[in-house]
Amino acid sequence: MKRIYNQITIRQKLELLSQLRIFPFLIVLLLMTVVLVPSASGDSPLEKQKVIRVAGDNNFPPFEYLSDSGVYEGFNVDILNAISIETGIKLEYHPMSWNEALEALTAGEVDAIQGMKYSQEREALYRFSEPYLMSTEAIFVPKENLYIFDLQDLEGRTIATQKGDIANDLLKNLQRVRIISTDSQKEAMHLLLQGKVEAFVGNRILGQYVLEQENKQSFAKIVGKSLEPTGYCIAVFPQHQDLLAVFNDGITKIKRNGTYDKIQKKWFSQYDLPPQFNVDKVLFYAKAGLAVLAALVVLILWWNRLLKREVARRITEQQLMQKEIEREDRLRSLGQLVLGIAHEIRNPLMSILTYTELLPKKINNEQFREFFAQHVPQEIMRLNGLVNELLDFARPKPAEPQVFSADEMIQSITFLFKQKLQEKKITVELDFGEGLVVFADRQQMKQVFINIILNAIQSVEMQGNISIRGERKEGMAVIAIEDNGMGIEPANLDKIFEPFYTRKTNGVGLGLSISYQLVKANCGRIEAKSSPGLGTAITVQLPVPERRDKDEAFGDH
C-alpha cells in the first residue's frame, strides 16, 4: 500500500500558508516554534506525537487525487493540511481506490477517511466529524438523451457507479437496473462518455470537473434535481472517535480564520455549491424570527379581541337580515309555485269546461261524442300527470343507493328512445370508461337521465348529434350529455332548474327541477353549459362505490 507521509515538512507548511495568504505573523510564529523549542533528539514535541493514518481516494478530482507528478493533492488534502497546521497533529496519507479505503478502515490499517458523505446507513458503521461541505449526487446522461429525467427513469437502464459509493444506495430500490461498478468515479464517468452506459450516477462536482478538464461539456449533461444533499465529513471507526474532537476543532478554526474559504475558492470557484449549513446564522435568524413572531402574536391577539366585538355585533345584524331574506325568498318561491300550478291547471280545466258546456247541445252528434270521448280523458290524464309531478317535486322518495353500471343504464335509456331517434335521424355517440359504476338510487337516476336525454332529443334538429360521455374523475362518476341543438340564452340558463320554467309549448317545467332534487338527494351535482345556436351540455356527477362495495356487487375476487 502506497503511503505518503506528512510530517508535514516546514517547507510544505510555509508553501501552504503562502498559497492561502495567511497572515505573515503565523509564519513567524511557526519558525519560532521550530527554532526555539529544542528537544533531546532534535525533533519538536509535535513530531513525537502519534501519526494519524488517513485514507483517501486516489482518483477523485478535484477532492483528492494523485497528480501526474505523483503528488497527492485536492480539496480534501488541503483541508486536512490546514487542520494539521492549526491543531499540530501529524498526518500520514494513504491514497487508494475508494473501496480499498473502506476495507482499510475496517481492517484498522488506517485511522480515518478524509472525505465521506454522511448517511443514516453509514452512521451505523462509522462516526463522523462536523460536515465541512455539502455534497450532492447527480445523474449524468448523454447530451442527446430524451428519456431519462429523474431517478425513476433509470429503471431497466445500464448505469455506471463507483464501488462503495453512496450512489449505489440510491439505486438499490430500482427494478432491473444493470450497474457497472468501477474503482473510481472518474472511470465511471468515462464509461458514459464512451457510450458504454446510459447514465453515470455520482458526485456532481466530480462529473462537472471531468467534463471541463477533458473539454467534453457537449457530450453529457445533468438531468433532474440534485440527489441526497448531505454533509461531507471525516469518518472514523467508533474505537477512534476520540479523533473527531481534534478534527472538529481544526474545522472550526480554519472556518473562523478564513483558511477554509480560501481553500474552497481555490478548488470550487467555478462550480455551484449547495449552501453550507451555518449554525450561528440559523440561531441568529431563529431568534430574530421568534422575536418578530412574538410581537405579531401580541398584535394579533389585540386585534383579534377588537375583531370579536365587531364580528359579534355584525353577526347579530346579519342573522336578522338573513332571516328577513329567507322569509322573502319563501314568499317569492311560494308565489311562483302558485302561479305555475294555476297556469298549468287552468288550460286542461278550460278545455274540459268547454267540452262539457257543448255536450247538451251536441249530444246527438256522433262526431262530437267521439271527439269528447277522446280529448276529455286526455286532459284529465294531463291533470293527473301534473299532480303526480307536483307530488314528486314536493315529496321526493328517499334515495336507496345501490351499485350499478352507468354504461348499461344509459344504453337502456337510448334503446327506449330508439324510435324517436330514428324519426329525427339523430346520431348518438356513447363513450364510457371501462367499468364505470355509480353508487346511487338506480330508479331515480334513470328518471334523471330520461329527462335530460329527452330534452336533448327535443332540442336538436333533424340529423342532429347527441354525445354521452362517462368517466371517473376526482373520486366521482362524471356523465356528460351534450347536444348540438338550439342552445339556451345566458339570461335563461340559470332558470332551467327552477320549477315551471320551460320553453316547450306543452311542457310543465318540472322535469329538470325534479332531476336537480334527485341528484342532490344522491349526494351528486348537476350543472349546465350552453351557447345559443351551438347546443347544450348537462353534466351529472355521482358518487362511486368503495372497492369493497363494488366487489360485493359484481362478484370480483
Q: Residue 184 and residue 163: Cα distance in Å, rounded?
A: 7
For the record, the C-alpha cell of 461 comes out as 334538429
**CATH superfamily name and code, 402-554:** Histidine kinase-like ATPase, C-terminal domain (3.30.565.10)
Edge to edge, the sheet with strand 465-473 lists 427-432, 465-473, 476-483, 535-543, 525-531
The listed range with the strongest mean pLDDT (97-101, 374-378, 440-444, 553-557) is 97-101
Instruction: Encode pLDDT of 299-332 as tens digits.
Output: 898 888 888 888 888 888 877 777 666 556 555 5
Instruction: Encode pLDDT of 79-99 as tens digits.
Output: 999 999 999 999 999 999 999
Q: What is the pLDDT of residue 219?
A: 94
Q: Residue 117 and residue 120: Cα distance in Å, rounded?
A: 10
Instruction: Encode pLDDT of 432-481 as tens digits.
Output: 877 789 999 988 898 899 889 988 898 898 989 999 999 988 889 999 99
CATH topology for 283-394 is Helix Hairpins (1.10.287)
- Where in the chain are the domains? 283-394, 402-554
Instruction: Encode pLDDT of 197-209 as tens digits.
Output: 999 999 999 999 9
Give the mean model confidence (pLDDT) for residues 114-127.
93
Q: What percent of the chain has pLDDT over 90?
A: 42
Residue 328 one-letter amino acid: E
| Residues 90 and 24: beta-carbon distance below 8 Å | no
Report how many helices (DSSP H) and strands (DSSP E) the chain contains, helices first.
19, 20
Nearest to 202 by CA among 117, 142, 131: 117
Instruction: Encode pLDDT of 478-516 as tens digits.
Output: 999 999 988 888 878 877 877 766 666 555 566 788 888
Q: Residue 262 and residue 254: Cα distance in Å, rounded?
A: 10
Residue 522: how many CB atoms within 10 A of its CB? 20
Q: What is the pLDDT of residue 348?
A: 73
Q: Residue 368 and residue 381: Cα distance in Å, rounded?
A: 20
